[in-house]
Amino acid sequence: MKSRMAYPYIVWLSMFIVLPLLLILYYGLTAVDGSFTLDNFQRFIDPIYLRVLWRSVELALLSTAICLVLGYPMAMIIAKTEIKRRNLMVLLFILPMWMNFLLRTYAWMTLLGRNGVINNILGWAGLPELNLLYNASAVVLGMVYNFLPFMVLPIYTVLSKMDQSYIEAAKDLGANNRKVFWKVIFPLSLPGVISGVTMVFMPAVSTFVIPRLLGGGQLMLIGNLVEQQFSYVGDWNFGSAISIVMMLFILISMALMTRFDKEQQGGVGLW
């Protein structure tokens, strides 16, 4: 019974995950005429492309760090509120995500633009106009804004399920609040932190819409490079090779994180 239930999932998985992956692998490892080659990867090992990769990783890491710093206290606040208000808070937090991602990003363009809302308010107050849009900060802002819920929710889940007796025990044994947090709460919440970090880092490192809209195309990230290969140059082979490099990169960083997690936790993960 159990195995028969699995068939639809297996069909789904192979059609929409395994097959596309194999296709990407095929394109990445072949030339235009279909012969086997490693040229696509060789081409990627070039300072300009590596710089693009590095810049994407840098911005994604920065956004992830900001999300963590902003998201952790948020998750704690939600986890500590009484259950009725807590659900409302989670709902309010998720509500913006019901709106289209592009729409939310466009909204930031209206807010940050030269004649945008923020600059209008500044002008009103007699303050000088700021260049808020089309730079790296705007891109990071866009990433943090869009991906923050992915950080908050897993941490919140872990925190709200945490056994309160550990905390009480620590307090009984004379630990002050700071010590309780760093020695008990934070280590216990690591699985949530790790899944939050992964869920923010992955979309952040591969996004191409945010740098295009909020970065004004001034910053080229790895997602833009892939998109350029597919929709403008028509070089599916190189585009696939870049995607493979990116996937490997994400895979390695995830492996490192889970290893770190195991060392700390003895293998209790969220997923």
Return residues touching another protein (CB under 8 A). Answer: 48-49, 51-52, 55, 109, 113-115, 131, 133-134, 212-213, 215-220, 224-225, 228-236
Residue 149 CA to residue 155 CA, distance in Å, equals 10
Taking the least distance from each CB to another protein, the nearer of 35 and 231 is: 231
Residue 205 CA to residue 200 CA, distance in Å, equals 9
Residue 187 is which amino acid? P
What SS3 state is found at 263? helix
- For residues 185 and 167, is the Cβ–Cβ distance under 8 A? yes
According to DSSP H, which parts of 17-135 are helical? 19-28, 39-44, 47-80, 83-94, 101-112, 117-124
Taking the least distance from each CB to another protein, the nearer of 55 and 104 is: 55
In angstroms, what is the minimal distance from the CB of 44 to another protein?
11
Taking the least distance from each CB to another protein, the nearer of 188 and 220 is: 220
In angstroms, what is the minimal distance from the CB of 231 to another protein?
5
In angstroms, what is the minimal distance from the CB of 234 to another protein?
4
In angstroms, what is the minimal distance from the CB of 211 to another protein?
10
In angstroms, what is the minimal distance from the CB of 208 to another protein?
12
Residue 33 CA to residue 42 CA, distance in Å, equals 18
Which residues, including other chains, have CB under 8 Å from residue 250's CB and lie 6 or more apart?
201, 202, 205, 206
In angstroms, what is the minimal distance from the CB of 209 to another protein?
11
**Long-range pairs for 228-236: beta carbons < 8 A, 24 or more residues apart:** 236/27
Taking the least distance from each CB to another protein, the nearer of 145 and 236 is: 236
Element (H, E) at 179: helix 177-180
Write the DSSP string, 68-83. Answer: HHHHHHHHHHHHHS-H
Taking the least distance from each CB to another protein, the nearer of 87 and 131 is: 131
Taking the least distance from each CB to another protein, the nearer of 93 and 208 is: 208
What CA dihedral angle connects 143, 148, 150 and 154, to 10 degrees? 150
Residue 71 CA to residue 238 CA, distance in Å, equals 37
Taking the least distance from each CB to another protein, the nearer of 73 and 217 is: 217
In angstroms, what is the minimal distance from the CB of 42 to another protein?
14
